[in-house]
Amino acid sequence: MPFGPYVKHGWVLCSIARGSKGPLTAGWNLRVNGITDAEVAECLDGAGLMHAYSGTCAIDVDDMPKAIEWCAARGVDLPALFAAPDSVQISSGKKGHGKLLYALPVPMRGKQVSIDKQATIDFRCATATDASQQDVLPPSMHPETLKPYGWLLGDPLVADWTALPPLPAALRAAWEGLLTKPAPEPKAASTTPPLGLEAVQAILATADPDADRETWLKLLAAVHHETGGSAAGLDLADAWSARGKKYVGRADVETRWRSFNPNHPNPVTLASFLGETPVDESEFTSVVEAPPAPDTRQSQEQKANAKRELESRLVYVRTVDRYFDKETRDVLASDHAIAHRFSPLMPKVRGSRLDPVKLLKESPLRRSVDAVGFHPGEGAIFTANGDNYANYYRPRIALPLEPTARERDTLDWLFNRIGDTTFQAWLIQFLAHVIQRPGIKIFSAPLIWSEIYGNGKSTFLRVIPSLLVGAEYSEEVPGTLLESNFNDYLARAWHVNLTEFRAVTAAGRRDIAAKLRPWIAEGSVSIHPKGLPAYTIPNRFFLTATSNDADATPLEEGDRRWGVYEMKAPRMTESEGTALYTDFLHTERAAGVLRHFFLNQSLTGFNPAAGPPNTKARTEMIEASTAPDVELLRTAFEECKGPFVRDVCTNEDVQNYVFQHLKYRPGAARVGRLMRGHPFDGRNRVVRAGGGSFRVWIIRNQDTWATTSERQIANYLMNDEINSLPIDPLAM
């Protein structure tokens, strides 16, 4: 998407994930995380304008009639602002909504006005902590309308997004009035102490996380107050919010959490939120700990801090009944492993270190997920298809490095060794999509085969992908591993390369082809760990394969999974190998240069859900993968020999012919399937003769033979003389 011009204009952007209306990564609104590199911006799926760092602001309206009325009461003519010739607007395509953009060199704190439970006006620029707010920029995709955001200009001859009008005085006055509104008189200090975490958790269990935004914010503020703004309180609020369908990610919860004032003179409490009545904690007495004795208060605090650390770092995975470490992104195999990793970090209480396993088991606030998955670009926890996953992926991709002239020449030389320009262009876009659209599944796979060793086929499909995604996430799978029933190596793979790809027998090749079908063409994949139950995760890895054989995998017409190319380039010379590997691919610069190269490739025309190009090598592999008996019979039919010298043949004729040539006799059912199919298109009849019956196939002159008597057909089959045909042979 063309987001580079925004950065070149001086705007600071943030990344918007596909299918989202806002950023999902923690800290996205900090200045240090803003995107100011045009090349990086060009590779984004979606982008947001960070107002506080770009000298801009936005007025977002989601119910135009009510907003007009609210603005009119404050001396603001909203329709005139939208109709102004220099107005610059962002359109989401939703009726009754509108958004105006203005220049605002000195940021103002944002403020959302709730006209009623449905209608709001959002004055958007900066947060209370001077971080930035954002608005999604065109042409990012709207997750609800599934259409791109667009620019609307009052007068296209006057207005332009590069020349935003200044914030109108009347609008500024209304905004400032919201920010300087006198604070209400503080109420008398409550004598009710803050509730404990267990009490807060019990109340949240009955609250609806999908309530309107205002109610959700008030309850979030109440939890902040009751828990003292602690990390444990944040985890509790995030876990409760994550139960709702409106949950957009922890970053959203954290942003609101940080905006609450812990020293507010009149805070929102759970008691006030639930109806201005104190909460009776007697119902929580079974779980609320008694106040610690003075001599144990320090140990209680140490225990609480240790629990918070474990709760924030470890996540329970239900499918495998184990814990996932969010920092190291791995699964701890047992309680013993937890003890070994975390016991040294636990404080000593009364001379003994706390037991991390016991603390976790007793914690009501530990977070759990459904399974462990893999999603490049997401955080430690992500959601897919309604399920929560712990993420094996840790960002390890190299920073882009501008290629030197020599490195660029090396890359050009390498890709020009692929003689088929169509396949070459498709492969470059395939690898570029991996980097530019991480986590979006490609439903096809490149297969390069060659009888020539050392000509570069493995470089394209093993070495380069491994450098792009990181060796940690690139799996090399030989045939022996592919034939195994266990495949837990897929759980943390971004790239899977099949080396020396080909089973020995035709049956083996068919079995492997069936196993690979969901790996390439389905959105989920079943993981089978040894000694543990199988589970299903989203399928986000891409597959490649290299082989020395022309019939590496069975292919049929219409099978759009494999993009096949025969590498005919000669074996590299010693000097060519040195220039490619020693001077480039084996250097520290290689990963960064490759990333820069593929980030700058256009994806125009590439569809990850479409099939690969139909190359000559692919057609030849389809022919090479045909079963031997099918190939034998098709050739006999085309040459009118063997059982097909006549218009009519029997099952036994076909079986005997195959046995004579292949020493293998196909069953009657297989013969039947073959004879009904192309190119035979046989018509079946049962002929009774000599006190018995037999099945015949009419393969030519079908209308005539369909009405011929059974005796004539029997005589025809038993007589080698063509003169005995009941039809004119010249009419054949």
Both 619 and 639 in one domain: the answer is no
Q: CB 51: neighbour CB atoms within 10 A?
A: 25
Both 607 and 695 in one domain: the answer is no
Both 485 and 573 in one domain: the answer is yes
Q: What is the pLDDT of residues 631-683, one digit of tens each?
A: 789 889 989 999 999 999 999 999 999 999 988 888 888 898 889 887 899 99
Q: What is the pLDDT of residue 286?
A: 31
> Could you tell me if residue 291 is inside a domain?
no
Say whether the peptide bond before residue 679 is cis (omega within 30 degrees of 0): yes
Q: What is the pLDDT of residues 265-278, one digit of tens each?
A: 677 777 666 554 33
Both 126 and 218 in one domain: the answer is no
How far apart CA 261 and CA 119 sit, in angstroms, is 26
DSSP code, position 319: T
Q: Among residues 588, 623, 658, which one ends one of the domains?
A: 623
| Rounded alpha-carbon distances, angstroms, from residue 13 to 94, 97, 152, 545 | 24, 23, 20, 38
Both 8 and 134 in one domain: the answer is yes
How much of the chain is in helix, strand and coil states, percent to nearest 5? Answer: 40, 15, 45
> Over the chain (732 residues), what is each successive 10-residue block's mean pLDDT?
83 81 73 80 84 94 89 91 93 87 91 80 88 90 82 89 92 87 48 65 79 81 83 82 80 78 73 49 33 50 77 86 89 89 82 84 78 86 86 84 95 96 96 92 94 93 95 89 86 91 66 87 89 86 90 77 93 95 95 94 94 89 76 88 93 92 87 86 86 87 91 81 36 29
Q: What is the pLDDT of residue 24?
A: 66
Q: What is the pLDDT of residue 730?
A: 28
Both 271 and 306 in one domain: the answer is no
Both 517 and 567 in one domain: the answer is yes
pTM exceeds 0.95 for this model: no
Q: What are phi and psi of 562, to 5 degrees?
A: -100, 130
How far apart CA 367 and CA 241 sit, in angstroms, is 12
8 Å CB contact between 75 and 636: no
Q: Which domain holds residue 153?
A: 4-179
Both 412 and 535 in one domain: the answer is yes
Both 612 and 647 in one domain: the answer is no
8 Å CB contact between 330 and 324: yes
Say whether the peptide bond before residue 193 is cis (omega within 30 degrees of 0): no
Q: What is the pLDDT of residue 414?
A: 96
Total number of domains in the chain:
5
DSSP code, position 211: S
How far apart CA 648 and CA 669 sit, in angstroms, is 18
DSSP code, position 463: I
8 Å CB contact between 227 and 194: yes
Q: Where are the alpha helices (DSSP H) in 500-642?
A: 506-521, 574-577, 590-599, 616-624, 628-638
Both 157 and 263 in one domain: the answer is no
Q: CB 21: neighbour CB atoms within 10 A?
A: 17
> Could you tell me if residue 187 is inside a domain?
no
8 Å CB contact between 474 and 489: no
8 Å CB contact between 614 and 563: no
How far apart CA 85 and CA 694 sit, in angstroms, is 88
Say whether the peptide bond before residue 570 is cis (omega within 30 degrees of 0): no
Both 561 and 539 in one domain: the answer is yes
Both 74 and 215 in one domain: the answer is no
Q: What are phi and psi of 12, to 5 degrees?
A: -105, 130
Q: Which residues are within 8 A (CB) of 677 and not within 5 positions of it... i.e. 6 or more apart? A: none
Structure tokens at 225: 């107050």
8 Å CB contact between 58 and 51: yes
DSSP code, position 506: H
8 Å CB contact between 330 and 370: no
Q: Among residues 255, 284, 313, which one ends one of the domains?
A: 284
> Could you tell me if residue 653 is inside a domain?
yes
Q: Among residues 369, 391, 420, which one ends one of the domains?
A: 369
